Structure 1
Amino acid sequence: MREQDASAWDVWGESKAGRKERNAAGASTWFNWTQWPDHGPDEKILGNIVGARVLDLGCGSGGNLAHLVALGADAIGVDISPVQIAKTRERWPHLDVRQEAAEEFLAADDYDYHYTAIYSVFGAAWFTDPADLLPLVHERLTPGGVYAFSHNPPALVGCYGPQASQMQPPEKGAEPLYVKRWDYEPAPWAEMLGQAGFADVTAEVIAPPAGKRTGTLLVQGVRAE
Structure 2
Amino acid sequence: MSLAESWDKYAVGSKPRRAVNATGETTWLNWTQYAEHGPNESVLGPVAGRRVLELGSGSGSNLAHLVTLGATGLGVDVAPARETVAKERWAGLAGLEFRTAEVTAFLTETDETFDVVLSIFGAVWFVDPRTLLPLIRSRMISGGTLAFSHLPAGIQDVKLGGAGLRHNHSLDAWERLLTSHGFTAVSASLIDPPQDRTVGTMLVRALAC
What range describes the TM-score normalised by the shorter chain of this pair? over 0.9
- For residues 95-139 of structure 1, give each alpha carbon's deviation from its aligned partner in whole angstroms, at most 9, with x where no partner exists: 30000011111111xx43111100000000001110110001111
- The residue aligned with 1:46 is 44
Contact preservation (8 Å) 2:57, 2:76: yes
- For residues 183-203 of structure 1, give each alpha carbon's deviation from its aligned partner in whole angstroms, at most 9, with x where no partner exists: 211110111001012110011
| Structure 1 outlier segments of 4+, above 4 Å | 163-168
- For residues 21-74 of structure 1, give each alpha carbon's deviation from its aligned partner in whole angstroms, at most 9, with x where no partner exists: 111111000001001111111111111110100000000111101101111101
Task: Write the letter of the residue equivalent to 1:58.
Answer: G
- The residue aligned with 2:13 is 15
TM-score, normalised by the number of residues in structure 2: 0.93
Instruction: Please report how far the alpha carbon of residue 182 of structure 1 lies from its aligned counterpart in structure 2 after TM superposition.
Output: 1.0
Contact preservation (8 Å) 2:7, 2:163: no
Instruction: Please report how far the alpha carbon of residue 9 of structure 1 lies from its aligned counterpart in structure 2 after TM superposition.
Output: 0.9
Contact preservation (8 Å) 2:10, 2:163: no
Distance 1:72 1:178, change over 3 A: closer
CA distance in 2, matches of 1:164, 1:53: 31
RMSD: 1.7
Contact preservation (8 Å) 2:108, 2:135: yes
Q: How does 1:28-177 map to 2 (within 5 A)?
A: 28-93=26-91, 94=93, 95-108=96-109, 111-155=110-154, 167=160, 177=162
CA distance in 2, matches of 1:153, 1:4: 27
CA distance in 2, matches of 1:138, 1:178: 25
The answer on 1:212 being equivalent to 2:197 is yes
Task: Write the letter of the residue equivalent to 1:122.
Answer: F
In structure 2, runs of 5+ residues without a counterpart are: none
Percent identical? 41
TM-score, normalised by the number of residues in structure 1: 0.87
Distance 1:165 1:104, change over 3 A: farther
Tell me which protein shows more strand as a share of its residues. 1
Q: Which SS does the other structure have where 2:67 is aligned?
A: helix
Contact preservation (8 Å) 1:80, 1:102: yes
- The residue aligned with 1:159 is none
Contact preservation (8 Å) 2:115, 2:144: yes
CA distance in 2, matches of 1:120, 1:24: 24
Contact preservation (8 Å) 2:150, 2:168: no
CA distance in 1, matches of 2:21, 2:175: 32
Instruction: Please report how far the alpha carbon of residue 181 of structure 1 lies from its aligned counterpart in structure 2 after TM superposition.
Output: 1.4
Task: Write the letter of the residue equivalent to 1:147.
Answer: L
CA distance in 2, matches of 1:79, 1:130: 17
Match of 1:202 among 180, 187, 191: 187
